[in-house]
C-alpha cells in the first residue's frame, strides 16, 4: 500500500478504493479544511463574548410527543448555535476539556463556530470523538465538560453538548464528498479483533483503524451499537444517527460481523491463535439485576433491558407489522431512578399506558438520572412515588395485578454519599398495576468465562491495568465490563485508550 495517508472509501473489507486524504495539499478538491490541525486554533480575532443567557433548545411539546417515538429535543438552529458559541470566553486553559473523558477540543471547535468556519469546527470535534452526534445527545455534560466551564460558576455554562450535536448534525447534512473524513494512517497489515459493538468497541475499532490496523468487530446481536441501539430509545437517540456514525466506521478498515457471539463461536484465545495480534473485549454489563422478590416471575413483569430491547431493537411498538410482542400495560410501575428507569417509563407512556409511576426508594433529589430526563418524564405525565421499595409483585391467574411496596425514610449518607433509605416499620401498601418494569441495574454476564480466560475482580467484572490490559497481555478490555454500568463517553474513552495501548504494544513487539 502507498505510504502516503489515505482515506478508504466504499467497503468494509479493509481494502478499498483509495482516495487521497484531504491532508495531502496536491489532492485537495476544494477548500476543505485540513482534518487534523496541528496547532490549537487561535482565539478568534476581536472576540467579545456575548453576555446573553444560555440558549434554550426547542423540544416537541409534551402533549404531542407521548404519541410518537420521534426525537424529543429538536436541536439548535444555525442562529441559536452561533449565538451560543459567542458566549464562550475562549479561556486560555480551556478547563472544559479536562471534564471530557476523551478531551474533545472544545475550545477549538467553538472558536471555529465563532469564526463561522463550520468545516474546521467539525474537524476539531471529530479529531477525538468518533460519535459526536451520539455524545451531543446522550452525554451527561452537566457533570462533565459543562461542569468545568467557568460560566458554570454562575449556573449558565456554555451549552457544549448542544453545540457538539449541532456541528455533528450539520456535518451529516452535507453531501458525502464534502463531509469530514478522518485521516487514516498507512496500513500496518496487522489484525485486531474487537468483541462487542457498543461505544467501547466502536471507539476502540475507530482508533485502531485510524492507526493503520485491520479491525474485525464481532457483535452477538444483529445490529451494531450496544446499548445505543437496544437500550436508549429512539426519542432520545434516533437510530439513523447511530447508523450514520457506524457507517463512517465501515468506510475505514473496520469489518463488522453481526450475529457473532464470541464465547459460543470461539474464545478470545482462539482468535489470537487464528492470527489476530490482539483482542479488545467491550461486551458491556448487560445481565439485568433482578429485584429478588416474590412474584417476580408473574406475567407482566419485565427487566428494563428486555422491555427496552423489545421496543428499540425488535420494534415491538410496530406490532403486528413487526412480529415482536410486548405487553402494552394500562397501569405501569417502573422500579428505579436512573436513566434506564426514565427510558422505560417514557417508553411505556408511548406504548399507550394510562398511568406510569416510578417507584424509587430515595427521593427525586437522589435520583441518579440526568435532571433533563427526569424533567422530561414528569412533563410527559410520569408520576414519582418516592421513598418506596418493592416487596412483592402480587397477581392473579399468573398475571401481575399490583406491586406491594415498603415505605422508606432517609437516614445518614452511605458510601455513595447519598442518604441511605431505611424501611419504616409496618408501613406497607399495594400499588395496583398490570405491568412492572425493574430498572435497578445490571451486572457482568457469567458467559464472560467462555469469552476469555482472564482474571475478573470480586464483582465479576474484568480486572485490567490502567491501559485496559487484562491478565493476558494480548487481551485488553474496557467499558461497562470493566467499570460496571457507567456512561457512553466513559466507555468510549476506555476503548480509545486501550486502542492506543494495543498500538504501542504491537509496535514495541514488532508483532506480525
Binding residues for ligand SF4 (CB under 6 A): 88-91, 94-96, 106-107, 110, 149-151, 158, 160
Stretch that binds ligand FAD, among 101-109, 221-229, 319-327, 349-357 (CB under 6 A): 221-229
> Between 132 and 198, whose beta carbon lies closer to ligand SF4?
132
Q: Which is nearer to ligand SF4, 159 or 193 (CB)?
A: 159
Task: For residues 358 and 383, give the distance between their C-alpha atoms in angstroms, rounded to a whole number.
Answer: 6
Complex with ligand SF4: residue 153 or 512, whichever CB lies closer: 153
Reported as half-sphere exposure (CB side, CA atoms, 13 A), residue 18 has a value of 16
**DSSP state, residue 189:** -
What's the CA gap between 109 and 104, in Å, rounded? Answer: 9
Please work out the total of residues on this chain that contact ligand FAD, with binding judged by CB under 6 A.
39
Per partner kind, with CB cut-offs from 5 to 8 A, the member of ligand FAD, ligand SF4, none near residue 295 is none
106 binds, among ligand SF4, ligand FAD, none (CB under 5 to 8 A by kind): ligand SF4
Residues 6+ apart with CB under 8 A from 154: none
In the complex, what is the shortest distance from the CB of residue 237 to ligand SF4, in angstroms, rounded to a whole number? 23
Question: What binding mask, one character per residue, do residues 265-304 give for ligand FAD by CB under 6 A, x or -?
Answer: -----------------xxx-x------------------
331 in helix, strand or coil?
Answer: strand
On whether the CB atoms of residues 195 and 167 are closer than 8 A, the answer is no
Q: Please say whether the dihedral angle defined by the alpha carbons of residues 266, 270, 275 and 276, taken in this order, is positive or negative.
A: positive
What is the distance in angstroms between the CA of the first residue and the CA of the last residue of the chain?
16
504: left (phi over 0), alpha (psi -120 to 50) or beta: alpha
Binding-site partner at residue 94 among ligand FAD, ligand SF4, none, CB < 5 to 8 Å by type: ligand SF4
Cβ proximity to ligand SF4, 48 vs 512, nearer residue:
48
Compute the distance between CA of residue 512 and CA of residue 503 in angstroms, rounded to an integer: 13
72 or 120: whose CB is closer to ligand FAD? 72
For residue 204, which phi and psi values (nearest 5 degrees)?
A: -65, -45
Closest CB 162 distance from ligand SF4, rounded Å: 12
Hey, which residues between 106 and 125 contact ligand FAD (CB under 6 A)? none
Minimum distance from CB of 93 to ligand SF4 (Å)? 8
Shortest distance in whole angstroms from residue 49 CB to ligand SF4: 8
287: nearest Cα among 438, 150, 425, 181: 438
- Return the CA Rg of the chain: 24
Site for ligand FAD in 310-369 (CB under 6 A): 339-340, 343
Phi, psi of 490 (to 5 degrees): -65, -40
Least Å distance, CB 106 to ligand SF4, is 5
As measured in angstroms, the least distance from the Cβ of 480 to ligand FAD is 4
Which residue from 474, 451, 436, 135 is spatially nearest to 285, judged by alpha carbons? Answer: 451
What b/e sequence results for 380-402 when a residue is b if at least 16 CB atoms lie within 10 Å of its CB, and e otherwise?
A: bbbebbbbbbbbbbbbeeeebbb
Smaller CB distance to ligand FAD: residue 118 or 227? Answer: 227
Q: Which of 199, 295, 402, 421 binds ligand FAD (CB under 6 A)?
A: 199
- Residue 444 near ligand FAD by CB under 6 A: no
* Alpha-helical regions (H) of 60-150: 62-65, 78-85, 95-98, 106-114, 118-128, 132-138, 145-148
Of ligand SF4, ligand FAD, none, which one sits near residue 480, judging by CB under 5 to 8 A according to partner kind? ligand FAD
Work out which of 99, 119, 198, 336 binds ligand FAD, going by CB under 6 A. Answer: 198
* Distance of closest approach, residue 21 Cβ to ligand FAD, in angstroms: 29
Which residues contact ligand FAD by CB under 6 A? Answer: 138-140, 195-201, 218-221, 226-227, 231-232, 261-263, 282-284, 286, 308, 339-340, 343, 451, 479-481, 485-489, 491
Amino acid at each position: 500500500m502507498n505510504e502516503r495517508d489515505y482515506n478508504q472509501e466504499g467497503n468494509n473489507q479493509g481494502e478499498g478504493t483509495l482516495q487521497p486524504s484531504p491532508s495531502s495539499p496536491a489532492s485537495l478538491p476544494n477548500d476543505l479544511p485540513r482534518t487534523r490541525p496541528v496547532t490549537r486554533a487561535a482565539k478568534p480575532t476581536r472576540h467579545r463574548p456575548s453576555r446573553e443567557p444560555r440558549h434554550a433548545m426547542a423540544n416537541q411539546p409534551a402533549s404531542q410527543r407521548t404519541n410518537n417515538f420521534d426525537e424529543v429535543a429538536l436541536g439548535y438552529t444555525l442562529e441559536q448555535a452561533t449565538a451560543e458559541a459567542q458566549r464562550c470566553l475562549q479561556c486560555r486553559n480551556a478547563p472544559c476539556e479536562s471534564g471530557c473523558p476523551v478531551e474533545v477540543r472544545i475550545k477549538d471547535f467553538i472558536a471555529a463556530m465563532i469564526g463561522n468556519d463550520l468545516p474546521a469546527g467539525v474537524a476539531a470535534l471529530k479529531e477525538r470523538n468518533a460519535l459526536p452526534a451520539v455524545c451531543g445527545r446522550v452525554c451527561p455534560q452537566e457533570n462533565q465538560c459543562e461542569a468545568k466551564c467557568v460560566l458554570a460558576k454562575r449556573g449558565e455554562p456554555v451549552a457544549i453538548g448542544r453545540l457538539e450535536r449541532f456541528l455533528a448534525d450539520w456535518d451529516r447534512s452535507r453531501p458525502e464528498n464534502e463531509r469530514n473524513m478522518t485521516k487514516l494512517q498507512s496500513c500496518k497489515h496487522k489484525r485486531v479483533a474487537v468483541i462487542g459493538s457498543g461505544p467501547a468497541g466502536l471507539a476502540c475499532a475507530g482508533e485502531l483503524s485510524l492507526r493503520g490496523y485491520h479491525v474485525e468487530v464481532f457483535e452477538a446481536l444483529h445490529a451494531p451499537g450496544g446499548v445505543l441501539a437496544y437500550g436508549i430509545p429512539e426519542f432520545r437517540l434516533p437510530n439513523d444517527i447511530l447508523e450514520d456514525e457506524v457507517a463512517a466506521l465501515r468506510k475505514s478498515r473496520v469489518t463488522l460481523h453481526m450475529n457473532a457471539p464470541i464465547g459460543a463461536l470461539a474464545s478470545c484465545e482462539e482468535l489470537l491463535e487464528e492470527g489476530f495480534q490482539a483482542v479488545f473485549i467491550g461486551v458491556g454489563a448487560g445481565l439485568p439485576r433482578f429485584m429478588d422478590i416474590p412474584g417476580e416471575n408473574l406475567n407482566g413483569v419485565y427487566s428494563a433491558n428486555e422491555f427496552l430491547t423489545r421496543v428499540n431493537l425488535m420494534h415491538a411498538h410496530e406490532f403486528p407489522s413487526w412480529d415482536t410482542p410486548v405487553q402494552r400495560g394500562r397501569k405501569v410501575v417502573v422500579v428505579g431512578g436512573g436513566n434506564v428507569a426514565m427510558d422505560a417509563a417514557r417508553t411505556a407512556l408511548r406504548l399507550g399506558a394510562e398511568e406510569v409511576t416510578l417507584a424509587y426508594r430515595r427521593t427525586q433529589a437522589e435520583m441518579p438520572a440526568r435532571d433533563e430526563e427526569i424533567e422530561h418524564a414528569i412533563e410527559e405525565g410520569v408520576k414519582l412515588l418516592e421513598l418506596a421499595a418493592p416487596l412483592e409483585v402480587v397477581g392473579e391467574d399468573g398475571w401481575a395485578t399490583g406491586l406491594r411496596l415498603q415505605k422508606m425514610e432517609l437516614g445518614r449518607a452511605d458510601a455513595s454519599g447519598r442518604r441511605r433509605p431505611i424501611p419504616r416499620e409496618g408501613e406497607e401498601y399495594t400499588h395496583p398495576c398490570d405491568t412492572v418494569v425493574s430498572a435497578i441495574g445490571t451486572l457482568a454476564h457469567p458467559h464472560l468465562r467462555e469469552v476469555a480466560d482472564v482474571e475478573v475482580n470480586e464483582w465479576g467484572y474484568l480486572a485490567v491495568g490502567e491501559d485496559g490490559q487484562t491478565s493476558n497481555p494480548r487481551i485488553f478490555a474496557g467499558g461497562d465490563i470493566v467499570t460496571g454500568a457507567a456512561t457512553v463517553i466513559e466507555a468510549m474513552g476506555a476503548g480509545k485508550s486501550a486502542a492506543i495501548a494495543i498500538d504501542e504494544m504491537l509496535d514495541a513487539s514488532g508483532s506480525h
